[in-house]
Amino acid sequence: MIVKAYIDDFNEITVVLAQMVHSIKREDFKVFLDDQEIEIEKVEKLIPHSENPFEAETRGYEICEQKGKIRFILKEGHFDFHRKPMVRPVFVIGDMNNWTISPEWELSYSKLRGRYELIRDLKDVQIGQKFKFAEGASRKLWYPPGYGNDIVIEDYFDREAAFTNIVKITTSKRLLANLKYKVVYKNEHIYARPREILTRSEYFYPGELGFKYEPYGTYFRLWAPTAYKVKIQIFDEYENFKFEKEMSRAENGTWNVYLAGDLKNHFYLYEVWHHNYDQDEGYVVYYVPDPYSKASSSNSGKSYIFDPADGLIDGWQADSFVDNIEKQNDAIIYEMHVRDFTIDQSSGIDENLRGKFLGFCQEGYYKGKITTGLMHLKELGVTHVHLLPISDFGSVDDKNPDKRYNWGYDPVLYQCPEYWFSTKSGGIEALKELRTMIKKLHENGIGVVMDVVFNHTYHTKGGKFSIFDKIVPEYFYRVDDYGDYLNATGCGNELATEKPMVRKFILDTIIYWTEGFHIDGFRFDLMGLIDCKTMRQIANEVRKRNPKALIYGEGWVMGDSTCLVEEMATILSSCHQGYSIGLFNDRIRDAIRGDLDGYKTGYVHGNLSDVERLKQGIKAAIDDFAKEPDECVNYVSCHDNLTLFDKLQKTMVGEDIFWIDRASRLANAIVLTSQGVAFLHGGVEFNRSKGGHPNTYNAGDNINKIDWSLKEKFFDTFKFYCDLINLRRKHIAFRMRSSGEIKKYLKFIPAPDGVVAFIITYPYDEWKKIIVAYNPFKEKKILQLPEGSWRIKANDGIVFPDSSEKEAIGSFEIGPVSLFIAYQK
């Protein structure tokens, strides 16, 4: 029985059988286009991969025919390679590239597997070709060493003896992605769906997609290479159907049409016809918005046609990226959800603007004296606001904003703003209001980081909010040979970022937000599921436009992603190294607070079991996963899981609120005095609580809202954060420029048991020597000070103003559960 059949190249069809077979015959298979039989040149068994990783390391390569890939592998101990990893770049050189060094043949070091790897298409090599590994661009170090001592690529599978259920058919006639081919195996048949053929260069379109408006006519272009036909439907400004027109098939799998006349303020949908591969006859028809929509009707219903100039605001041309840092590790990031920030009455924001873009940048007061909104951010002193998703998502109703709540990790139209945060549902008002918010934050010296979700989409297949699958079925996702969507996101699907047109869409989207909205940085949700090449291209493209842009994300996944053979941007990879791509440091987080939602304690509780991990984080993880300090984002809490205050309440039952507050201060005092990028969860500065709920993604305003009365209650805590943030920004010693400087100028010093202390001797800071110590215990501790007179800047839960600094010689008493800072000029 045939399970699936796929068109994987212009003359290749891959067939998946229900059972393993030992032998195959060409006469058992037939291929038809309509009633015309297509000649089969050969039929071959495909062997998935070597089952023994040691064999692959011994050979220096691994062939994965099922995926059409070859993986080159260099591991210490093989081919006389015994050098320390990542000292010099390593390349494959051989017959396939004329024995020359070239960037596209450079291997990446995988910490996960402890070896260098490079994945290439099998078509890039031939059986019998020879190669070596070369270290450094000079080619003086070869592995294996010696002339003529080359590795030979061999067809190492025993095809006669092997069992498989994957068969490759090679046809004599060229196949196309938009035609329906019937594959017959013995007495059964199935229709071949286009798959890897869509990754070929003939189906890559490098130009602009979407709509281009002019007063005298509008041009539309859609990439839908597998479609049988495509029409465009036009609706008037009230969303009433007006007319439709068939689009023309164009180059590289695109369809286009030019519609004369002024269509400003009209809406449109694509009517996409696909072959029904489950039936002998018929088509599947979808009505779908443009994935390149820049604006839409309410709730992602239809794409909106507008003049881009109409979406601008007064003074926008004079606005630019914020200029408040030199390097990524100068940033102090404050994470917040747009609605949470001002939705509560205590925010003092105008009622009609609460929970909106315009409310976020309004100056508000609680009880007429406690600053809220924009003034709170300015008073706190952070450099950047990280906003949870502000592009279109499908889990709320923007016509009825109080009906449902969500964080927004359910993306639909990636290049549209989310109308839930706008005063008007649909159209371009949201674009103007978002730009107004960004401009106002920039005017106050605060950058805007956008949280983006390129690991999954809200819906797939024929779902209401499915976009990609209705246009090019299965292409945008990682799907196994049986048609099942992979789910390393935990959300039911994962985007195939390594595919050319998926990568293009991601880059186009990031560039659009960077250029069109002056976004100052991007945080990537589940970045570990994005392939390295895509992440590096993102970093390069964004920083061409804004050299000081922030790029960081989650370096982990939520499950196995068996479809992706390329190295992923996880904390165990080297993808981020050298590209200023930051990763959240979950190691220091757990060392400080304990586990996320349970009862395990951390350093601030007096648990010393992870002190070494804590020390690594203090040094920006340069002895762990980071090559440079701007690759490490230190934090103890974020929107996920229990807030820091809720975690401490859960694990400090019976303790007075005084000690819980002290532990909270100490936790982020460690973050703000460590090297690397500092990240704060919004509201932590006054002990934000979500009532002990660990996962509040759809829990509503009552749980997620910022309660500004807490700022009054914990004003001393807020003041502590302000003073410590100011101190970090003022002193570059807490933000050293390189790993070399950290190794040279930061040293841990002897301290009482359980107290972590270090000295910084950074010559480019006005403070020539700085001592930082953390006391997690409820008892005071005596710290022996190095020689000389020291001024005490922080102790006992307070950062002292210059006028209140004390002087110490010889030793000093560190307050209980407290940060200690002393300095010499």
- The residue count of the chain comes to 825
What 3-state class would DSSP assign to 20?
strand
Q: How far is CA 731 from CA 97, 251, 673, 763, 770, in A?
A: 50, 56, 10, 11, 10
Contact of 122 with 116, CB cutoff 8 Å: no
Residue 610 annotated to the active site: no
Q: Which residue has the tokens 């590790």?
A: 329
Both tokens assigned to 278: 């489950």
Identify the CA nearest to 603 among candidates 616, 621, 589: 589
In this structure, are residues 21 and 163 in contact, taking their beta carbons and an 8 Å threshold? yes
Which tokens is 189 given?
Answer: 């048949």
Name every residue whose Cβ is closer than 8 Å to that of residue 140 and which is 6 or more positions away in sequence: none
* C-alpha to C-alpha distance for 287 and 239, rounded to whole angstroms: 14
- Say how far apart CA 628 and CA 329 lie, in whole Å: 9
Q: Is the bond preceding residue 308 a cis peptide, omega within 30 degrees?
A: no
651 near 599, Cβ under 8 Å? yes
Q: Which residues contact 672 (CB under 8 A, 6 or more apart)?
A: 332, 678, 724, 725, 727, 728, 734
CA–CA dist 718, 366 (Å, integer): 15
- The token pair at 673 is 């005095």
- State both tokens at 207: 């130009």
DSSP state of 815: P
> Dihedral, CA atoms, 672, 673, 677, 678, nearest 10 degrees?
-10
Residue type, 683: G
For residue 258, list its beta bridge partners: 219
Annotated catalytic residue: which of 9, 481, 498, 554? Answer: 554
Return the closest-CA partner of residue 301 out of 460, 457, 464, 470: 464
Residue 445 and residue 380 in contact, taking contact as beta carbons nearer than 8 Å = no
Closest CA to 73 of 127, 126, 151: 151
Active-site residue, from 344, 525, 531, 765 = 525
Assess whether 554 carries a catalytic annotation: yes
Distance CA 612, CA 619 (A): 11
Catalytically active residues are 525, 554
